[in-house]
Structure 1
Amino acid sequence: MEVFLVALLIFYIYHGTGITLGYHRLLSHRSFKVPHWLEYFIVSGGYLCFEGSPIYWVTNHRLHHRYSDQEGDPHSPVDGFWHSYVGWMYKPIVRVSLEQSRLVSPDLYRDRVYEMLHLENSDYHALLCLIVGVVFRIVLLVVFGPAVLAANLIATLVVFNAPLLVNSVGHLKEFGYRNFESGDGSRNVWWVALIALGEGWHNNHHYAPKSARHGLTAWEFDLSYLVLSILKVLGLATDIKLPTSEQMSRYRVFDQDKDAEDLDPQSKADRPLAPVD
């Protein structure tokens, strides 16, 4: 049982931060910098959790910020809860074309590893990710035994669903609260933040998408940012972006009784399709 619990914790953090720090805050938003070897290690946690091609993932996410809860958003609950949760992956309203991914994520195309994993085809890159993930778990079983494999499968199941909760519950007015006007329906939901290692402070993130820290108040716990802070102390993480004092001065400076649909849309100027290098 001890082996199982330790393995469960390790895999939850490994796969979880692979998505939150790797795919999301590093590749999608360039919120911090780490050495290349560490970048690949962090991102591998997301890839081995069946998140698919980093280029495909990042392109979808940047489009989500560009058109959040509007036409062009790949996964908004405006098109239905189940669409935002899982349907967008199987019956996408917005299909990411090869030309679009090259326009939206040119920085990732400059990396041979990410370009190789993309395979220029969503069906093939998903199949490659599936094969690699299955082989990884066969190795776990052979080398470490069934207890470690079981821990990994449970961690993978929960972590895989965490960003799906953010995409759906994190944009429904029935849940959570808002700290900032963000021009969309994004919400801060504490229990999603716990499951998703800090990603549930989604309104904060949509307001300041380049911030490496999502929990912007003292009580909004952000485990992913805690891990990043440890990497900073170790000298492994640099150029960590945080909200400016001007941005934070707008904390709750709006009508709390308004629904997101009533808000004036925020300018999209600070939501570029491609990152700032």
Structure 2
Amino acid sequence: MQFQGTKDYVATEDLKIAVNAAVTLERPLLVKGEPGTGKTELARQVADALGLRMIEWNVKSTTRAQQGLYEYDAVSRLRDSQLGDERVHDVKNYIKRGKLWEAFDADEKVVLLIDEIDKADIEFPNDLLQELDKMEFHVYETGETIRAKQRPIMIITSNNEKELPDAFLRRCFFHYIQFPDAETMRKIVEVHHPGIKDSLLTTALTQFYEIRDTAGLKKKPSTSEVLDWLKLLLAEDLTAEDLKRDGADALPKLHGALLKNEQDVHLFERLAFMARGRR
């Protein structure tokens, strides 16, 4: 079971090695990188490439680890008991299975994505240590132990918003997705916008990397944003000549696809003003 990328996803050699190492070691793959570098999409493409079903657990700031196992709805059971509902005699009627339970209970191997784990409370990763190690958990209300029928391929993403505990990191195989260089970016663009004119792509990517390298930028544009920008350029039928800028116009065409806050827009406006002052 080897991941070699897909026609819809450009995977670098080191990323392929990381995925296959995690699969071999049967450890979760912890993937970090800038937002928009394809961390979430990686899980989908691994599932597609290996012909496996994917189960997705999107973590929010309010998410608790217990929700990934199961939740017991005591309020509904109390209400049903007051109404004389026969369902109340079987506690299983009030157990809601979580994404981990769904993955553990699958007869076939699945890909389990735990997306943006760093959004949750700092104790969230620690609360999953036993489940990651033993691939089992106990349901106290029913007295049963849920064990994974097939160990899932687990991919965990993080945007590095907060540090993850050492005990959790020890249980993972780690990979940081570097921001694509220009050559890799060309391959990514070709997947999404096949046949784009080389002159337009060269000029657009030159501007894109210049913007990313601008000192003082609050939010650097990501891979997903340059793809959106190129889609707009193609829709407007713009040419490489149309993209050319001078000092009086430092903002790129359709800059709203690349610059996502007023601070960065003002930065480029100041650069244009300074350029005009030097004339």
Is TM-score (shorter-chain normalized) higher than 0.5?
A: no
User: Which structure shows the higher strand fraction?
Assistant: 2
Q: TM-score, normalised by structure 2?
A: 0.24
**Which has the larger Rg?**
2
Q: TM-score, normalised by structure 1?
A: 0.24
User: Which structure shows the higher helix fraction?
Assistant: 1
